[in-house]
Homo-oligomer: A and B are copies of this chain.
Amino acid sequence: MALSKTAHIVTAYGEELDQLADELARMGGMVETQLETALAAIVRRDASLVAGVREREKQVNAMQDDVEKRVLRLFALRQPLATDLRMTISALKIANDLERVGDLAKNIAYRAEDLAEYAPLSLLDQVERLGAIVVKQLHEVLDALSSADVEPAIRVWRTDDEVDERYNALVRQMLMSMTEDPGQVEPGVHILFVAKNLERIGDHATNVAEAVHFMVTAGPLEADDAKS
C-alpha cells in the first residue's frame, strides 16, 4: 500500500514534468508558425496574414502564463531538485524567450501592413534569406529542446555570427538605397526594423540554445565550445 502510494506520487510528479515539457514544445511550435507566417506576410506583402499572427500571439502569451503557473506549482508542491530543478528553471527561461520571439514575429507582421502600400522594394530577397536562416535556427533549437540533445543547440550557437553578418550587410545596402532614392526611405525603415527583429529572434534562439545546454549538461555553453 505504501509502495503503491509512493509509486503513484512519483508517476504524478513525472507526469507534471512531462506536461511542462509538452506545453513548452507546443509553445515552440506555435511561435515557429508565427514567425513563418510573419515572414510570408513580408515577402509576399500580404497583409491578410497579419490577423493570424496576432491571434497566435494571444495563445502564445496564454501558454507562457500556463508554463509559469505549472513551474510555480512544481516549486510549491514538489520542490524539484538536481536535473528536475534545472529542467524547471530552464522551462521558465525558455518560455520567456519564446514569448519574446512571438512578440517580435508579431512586430514583423505589423510591418507587412505598412509595406503593402509600396511598389517594388529593395533588398527583399536578402530579408527572405535572413529570415530563412533564423527560422532554421528556431527549428533546430526546438529540436534540441524536445530531444534534450546539445548538438543542434551548439549548431544554433555557431550560426549566430552568420546572422549578424548578413544583418549588417543588409543595413549597409539599405542605407545606400535610401540615401539615393527618397522613395525608399519609408519602406526602407520598415525593412530595417524587420531585419533587426530577425536578428533579435536569432539572439533569442541562441538564448534557448544556452538554456537547453544548461538543462542537459548543467554547464554553460561557452564561446570556446561553441564558436570553434
Contacts and interface: CB of A to CB of B under 8 A. Distances in A.
A contact patch SS: helix
Contacts of A189: 175, 178, 189, 192
A186 B174 CA distance: 10
Given A182-B179, A189-B189, A76 B85 contact: yes
A179 B185 contact: yes
A193 interface: yes
Interface string A174-198: 0100111010011001001100100
Interface string A86-111: 00010011001000000000000000
Contacts of A121: none
Give this chain's copy count. Answer: 2
Given A96-B96, A175-B185, A81 B85 contact: no
B76 A81 contact: yes
Interface residues of A, number: 25
A196 B196 CA distance: 11
Contacts of A228: none
A63 to B, nearest CB: 16
A179 B175 contact: no
A4 interface: no
A186 B75 CA distance: 50
A114 to B, nearest CB: 11
B93 A75 contact: no
Contacts of A186: 175, 179
A4 to B, nearest CB: 26
A196 B190 CA distance: 12
A193 B192 CA distance: 10
A72 interface: yes
Contacts of A147: none
Contacts of A175: 185-186, 189
A175 B118 CA distance: 15
A6 interface: no
A89 B95 CA distance: 14
Given A76-B85, A175-B185, 12 more contacts: A75-B80, A75-B85, A79-B79, A93-B96, A178-B178, A178-B185, A179-B182, A179-B185, A179-B186, A180-B182, A193-B196, A196-B196
